[in-house]
Amino acid sequence: MLPKPDEIIYDRRRKRLIVQVLPGGKLVLKAPQGTSKHQINSFLAQHAGWIAEKKAIMAQVSPPAQALRFVEGELLWLAGRQYPLHLADTGVKGLVFKQGQGFFLLKKEQKTGVERLNAFYREYTRRAVTTIAERVARQWGLQVKSIRITGAKRRWGSCSRQNSLNFSLRLAMVPPEALEYVVVHELAHTRHHDHSRAFWAFLEQMLPGYEAQRQWLKQNGLRLPDF
Ligand SMILES: [Zn+2]
């Protein structure tokens, strides 16, 4: 199979063809102005092996953080899906989510978008995490000292020696099953404060099939927008 570039950039000053694989796996081809389709295809065929290898590596690297701009129609993540942002002239307080319609923000508050989204995600995560934690702790007779929602970027959750649990507000962006996995994972740490075999066995008992969620987070977690 011939690799298919995501973007081709023609440049008059360029003398030779080159390909680049960007973080996230995007394939960019730069070509001198007037390069024929045939030349491009034979170049891609020649380098197919290198491209495939590089793509596999770069797919694991998170693409550069895309700053949210809070413009009309911009897509925001919630519970594993993307919803459009609508800027309203009146009738909204803060950042509001309406099922089936998306997010609403007052146009004149566009500049506060980041803080508003942070607050929205924080509240959403707090509610979702607390509901699951209470149910699971009761079910398995586990003691939780406290639950805190943080702005952590690289860590979904943690559990202290004293069984204080921390969760990142970024969990609001992931599918509900993945969020549940993180909560159950940290709760399992209240019994086993390590990643021993006993820990994973206990987790499997609590949440059979958790591995799929763990993989989802590994593969997609870093690609969610930074803000
Ligand atoms: Zn852990």
Distance from the alpha carbon of residue 127 to the mean position of ligand 1, in angstroms: 21
167-184 pLDDT per residue, tens: 999 999 999 999 999 999
Helix axis angle, 197-206 relative to 176-188, nearest 10°? Answer: 130
Distance from the alpha carbon of residue 158 to the mean position of ligand 1, in angstroms: 7
Domains and CATH numbers, the chain: 7-58 (no CATH), 75-112 (no CATH), 117-223 (3.30.2010.10)
87 in Cβ contact with 72 (< 8 Å): yes
65-100 pLDDT per residue, tens: 567 889 999 999 999 999 999 999 988 888 999 998
Distance from the alpha carbon of residue 82 to the mean position of ligand 1, in angstroms: 28
Distance from the alpha carbon of residue 17 to the mean position of ligand 1, in angstroms: 46
As to burial, measured by CB atoms within 10 angstroms (0-12 exposed, 13-18 middle, 19+ buried), residue 67 is: exposed
98-122 pLDDT per residue, tens: 998 999 999 999 999 999 999 999 9
Backbone angles phi, psi at 29, to 5 degrees: -115, 130
Contacts of 82 (CB under 8 A, 6+ apart): 75, 76
Distance from the alpha carbon of residue 192 to the mean position of ligand 1, in angstroms: 9
Distance from the alpha carbon of residue 133 to the mean position of ligand 1, in angstroms: 15
pTM over 0.75: no
